[in-house]
Structure 1
Amino acid sequence: MMVKAWKLPALRVASDEMLHLDLLRFIASVGIVVRHSFEFFYPAATRPTLPSGLALFVDLFFVISGFVIAHVYLGKVGTLSEYGTFLQRRVGRLMPLHWLTLAASIIVWSGFVALGKAGNHQPSFEARCIAETALLLNAMLVCGNGISFSSVSWSIGAEMVMYLMFPLFAWAAVRSRLGLLATASLALVAMIVFDLSQNAIDRSWVDVWPPFRALPSFMIGICLFYFRDGIQIPAPGRMLLLAKTLLLISMITHTHHLISLGLVYIVAVTAVAADRAVAPALVKRLAPLGQLTYSIYMWHSLVILIVMNAIADKLFQVSPGVMVVFCMVSWLIIFAVSYFSYFVIETPARRYIDGLGGAKKRRVTAVVVSKNERLGGQTS
């Protein structure tokens, strides 16, 4: 008697209309992982001086998030009931994994404290600080020693602020698309002026208050959706590759953050243009990986903390050559945990929360492929 081979569930894109954007989300998540892992190849004293441009991949998340949310929900948040359903689905997409990784982070750090290995960067165990992090308020408030568990969740908090404001953006878009574009441009200029006035260093954009940092990029994403049909770029696929190359160069060198931010927007524009044409076979094959973006983003820092920081760097103090092995192991664990998390934890949890309060329940497979539940956001 033959036994059927067990097959892993396949990742699927939510829509064939945004294949380049899907792939960009995955690339951005990998960029954040690289940023947080490669610092361990350098002595601790030199790490603060390393280029920090890869952190601006979070701003690419914000742009894509604005585009995707506009694609799915514009015209569907006009009543309190629709707005409530919108927020319920956003909570279902973001909060279960946020709470799970927060709990896991608390457990891991508790172990470090018990072993006397917490060091000087121990997150605050104050109940108020943990509660604020659980509610994603750590993006807006500073509590205790200023270090919170699940530190990457700051960008998720900024995303939630954008979701709360989305009906306002949708209303503005209906009134005047050009007006929304002008408002987004003014918001960007205002944030740049604020950044330059508050932060004296060249690479300072990452220090902008998270909701202020997310605002112009999220609004630009919405505008890109509205004006997508008018974006005409010759050979958009090649231009996208060129823009991504220039962006990466700027990120890994000591280039002013505002230049890299401008390149982030150029990459997003060319990706939207590329999605208006037929996607190459390679893009079609890799685009489903974009579904793992949020999982990778939320799990990576915890895996790197344990494998590269605690074990390789602190416990064994390995050489850069051996650290490569620990880095590869970390990346494999991150991908495996993210894949498992997406199908076994996030999707069922999202299905359950979506069905609360009499909302129409959907099958897990429908949730996986539904374009109504995509996430642009995430975050360094």
Structure 2
Amino acid sequence: MQPATRHVYLNLDALRGVAAICVMLYHFSPFLADGKVLPSSYLAVDLFFLLSGFVIAHAYDRKIEAGMGFGSFLLVRLIRLYPLYLAGTLLGAFYLLIKNTLMPGDYMPMSDIAMMLTTGMLFIPLVGNAYHTIFPLNPASWSLFFELLVNIAYVLLFFALSKRVLSALVAGSLALLIVAAVFSGTLDFGMTGATIASGLPRVAFSFFLGVLICRSMAQGGTGFLQSGYWAEMALLLTLVIFAIAPAGGGARAGYDLICVVLLFPVMVTVGAAAPTRPGLAKLFGWLGRISYPIYIIHTPMLMIIAGAGKAASIDPFANHPWFGIAMAGAVIVIADVATRIY
């Protein structure tokens, strides 16, 4: 059998890259401004899950139908994800070891660091109340944990995932997601031990909706997107969504649900169907390549760079936005180098 020509979704690469940069800037907010920068950027995780479902279905549906087994699929995914994940985890451990040396007043027992490193390297979440996130050495890793869970579910359930079953999965996950959003007042959950259960419908809804969109688009019906500035509009809408900060309570939960349930699926459909302008192809491809490195190393790099600033008697909080801009630039450069070399 001749392998099919692989379609490269450069617009989706650009969406993922812009979203990763927005998450980084959101987490760097204390070093950039007095308030939150791009305050709704935590929704980028839901966009990542949706994109993942679409791309996984596109890349692996035919391969699994042709005989690719569970072990081969999982190995390919780990080869793709684990090296940079490991690098981020080791950077987090390095930060704590250096902090113990330079700031003995905040000393953390070596046994605690060893436990966080061991569990982190094995993708085991820490759900105790003593931890602010289920992966303390690299807080952004929480979404990667859920990504692997839903990837495993996809391959194990693959031959049962008809469109009817997918629709039922999406509908059931949505119902649970709405309940979780109403109780929490937001969709910003899943990263702590107290909210880890709520992370399951969050990833399941977006991922399996992405699979459903991919399979549905194979039947056509998006020809009207072949002309116009649809891809650029989707990118602009991403920034607008992340920049808006509705009031708390019901408004916040409603906004989050509208974005995840309605706007993100439209953006992914548009990005997948619309052509990429030749002049933007290289930029979009580059954004896609650096998206995962930026996301998975930016939180330990934040701790290391901010700690280095303090060690050099530079108050990173008193020197915004320049300190934050320098941090973001450094992470982008490191992500680019990691993509090309590591």
> TM-score, structure 2 length as denominator?
0.80
Superposition pairs for residues 257-336 of structure 1, below 5 Å?
257-264=253-260, 265-289=262-286, 290-308=288-306, 311=309, 315-317=313-315, 322-336=319-333
Residues 189, 244 of structure 1: alpha-carbon distance in 2 compared, 3 angstrom cutoff: farther
Match of 2:165 in 1: 179
Give the Cα–Cα distance (whole angstroms) in 2 for the partners of residues 303 and 324 of structure 1.
Answer: 17
Work out whether residues 169 and 219 of structure 1, in 8 Å CA contact, stay in contact via their aligned partners in 2: no
Give the Cα–Cα distance (whole angstroms) in 2 for the partners of residues 192 and 233 of structure 1.
Answer: 33
Listed one character per residue, the Cα deviations across residues 82-137 of structure 1 (whole Å, up to 9, x for unaligned) are 21111011111111222222112111111112211775999982544332221222
Residues 34, 15 of structure 1: alpha-carbon distance in 2 compared, 3 angstrom cutoff: farther
Residues 211, 330 of structure 1: alpha-carbon distance in 2 compared, 3 angstrom cutoff: same
AA paired with 2:123?
L
- The answer to whether the aligner puts 1:63 opposite 2:50 as a matched pair is yes
Superposition pairs for residues 130-279 of structure 1, below 5 Å?
130-138=117-125, 141-143=126-128, 145-147=130-132, 148-173=136-161, 176-197=162-183, 199=184, 202-207=185-190, 208-209=195-196, 210-228=199-217, 229-232=219-222, 234-235=224-225, 238-255=229-246, 256-264=252-260, 265-279=262-276
Secondary structure, aligned partner of 2:92: helix
Work out whether residues 66 and 220 of structure 1, in 8 Å CA contact, stay in contact via their aligned partners in 2: yes
Work out whether residues 63 and 219 of structure 1, in 8 Å CA contact, stay in contact via their aligned partners in 2: yes
Give the Cα–Cα distance (whole angstroms) in 1 for the partners of residues 42 and 105 of structure 2.
Answer: 25
The alignment's C-alpha RMSD in Å is 3.3
The alpha-carbon deviation at position 73 of structure 1 amounts to 0.9
Match of 1:350 in 2: none
Work out whether residues 21 and 64 of structure 1, in 8 Å CA contact, stay in contact via their aligned partners in 2: yes
Superposition pairs for residues 321-360 of structure 1, below 5 Å?
322-345=319-342
The alpha-carbon deviation at position 328 of structure 1 amounts to 2.7
Residues 313, 40 of structure 1: alpha-carbon distance in 2 compared, 3 angstrom cutoff: farther
Secondary structure, aligned partner of 1:275: helix
The alpha-carbon deviation at position 221 of structure 1 amounts to 0.8
Q: How many residues align?
A: 320
Work out whether residues 152 and 298 of structure 1, in 8 Å CA contact, stay in contact via their aligned partners in 2: yes
Q: Which moved more, 1:267-276 or 1:121-130?
A: 121-130
Which residues of structure 1 form unaligned runs of 5+? 1-13, 346-380
Give the Cα–Cα distance (whole angstroms) in 2 for the partners of residues 297 and 177 of structure 1.
Answer: 32
Residues 23, 325 of structure 1: alpha-carbon distance in 2 compared, 3 angstrom cutoff: same
Q: Identity over the aligned pairs, expressed in percent? A: 22
Give the Cα–Cα distance (whole angstroms) in 2 for the partners of residues 295 and 143 of structure 1.
Answer: 28
AA paired with 1:232?
T
Secondary structure, aligned partner of 1:137: coil
Residues 72, 118 of structure 1: alpha-carbon distance in 2 compared, 3 angstrom cutoff: farther
Listed one character per residue, the Cα deviations across residues 269-311 of structure 1 (whole Å, up to 9, x for unaligned) are 3343343343212431222120121111122122222324651
Work out whether residues 42 and 188 of structure 2, in 8 Å CA contact, stay in contact via their aligned partners in 1: no
Superposition pairs for residues 26-45 of structure 1, below 5 Å?
26-42=17-33
AA paired with 2:166?
L
Residues 70, 120 of structure 1: alpha-carbon distance in 2 compared, 3 angstrom cutoff: farther
Give the Cα–Cα distance (whole angstroms) in 2 for the partners of residues 42 and 226 of structure 1.
Answer: 43
Work out whether residues 23 and 287 of structure 1, in 8 Å CA contact, stay in contact via their aligned partners in 2: yes
Residues 35, 314 of structure 1: alpha-carbon distance in 2 compared, 3 angstrom cutoff: farther
